Amino acid sequence: MFKSSFFSVCSSLSQPLEVLKLPYLCLTSTDLAYLSCSQHAPFLRELDLSENWLDESSLPSLRRLLAQAENSLCQLSLCGCGLSDSLLSALLPSLSSCQALRRLRLALNPLSRTGLLCLARTAAGIPSLRLLLYPNPLEEYEPGLPALPSSAQLLDWPLLEESEGRDLTLRLLEEVLNLRGRSRDLLVTSDLLNYSPDLTVDE
């Protein structure tokens, strides 16, 4: 009921929305298709779809939405959306086209270290980007996670006590940033609690 009422209101607005925050709404591929074709898409500056489960059926509409917003979108949050390596790989070309993007949040997604490094390379190739909030890779968790864990499982599951895995991740991320010349102006962090959601940088 809420979603249908919300989208009905959206369609009746005379001015396009620039900020759209829709976390925890169980959005479907049909909902995303509507958003991608709406009058608001080309004007979006902030988009939060966190905790809406994404799958292969959702990706075409999400990619179309990002394509519509690629010149305006400054902040994108897709935390806890079930993005695996394969889903993220299909989404990366669309993300790389968002050349106005300044903040990208992808915490609590089930990525491997390889998937994370692919994300970091794409992020480092977006000149405007200043913040990447990334998920701890699956290799850093204690054994026993399901193959495709939910965000709640990732949040509650303990990380390995040994620091070698985290140190390796940080070292590899640093190499990516150094190769792209982004070690000074792009903050990459997995710290959900202590990073600044209101990070500001020089325009």
Confidence at residue 196, expressed as pLDDT on a 0 to 100 scale: 60
Q: What b-and-e string marks burial along 21-56, b requiring 16 or more CB atoms within 10 Å of the CB?
A: ebeeeebebebbbbbbebebbebbebbbbbbbebee
**Is pLDDT of 3 > 60?**
no
pLDDT band at 158 (very low <50, low <70, confident <90, very high): very high
Residue with tokens 């106005």: 100
> Domain extents for the chain?
17-189
**Is pLDDT of 194 > 80?**
no
Strand partners, 59: none
The dihedral built from the CA positions of residue 120, 123, 127 and 131, taken in this order, carries a sign that is: negative
Confidence at residue 193, expressed as pLDDT on a 0 to 100 scale: 78
Does domain 17-189 bear CATH number 3.80.10.10? yes
pLDDT band at 15 (very low <50, low <70, confident <90, very high): confident
DSSP state of 16: -
Mode of pairing for the β-strands spanning 187-189 and 75-77: unpaired
Quote the CA–CA distance of 44 and 156 in Å, as a whole number. Answer: 33
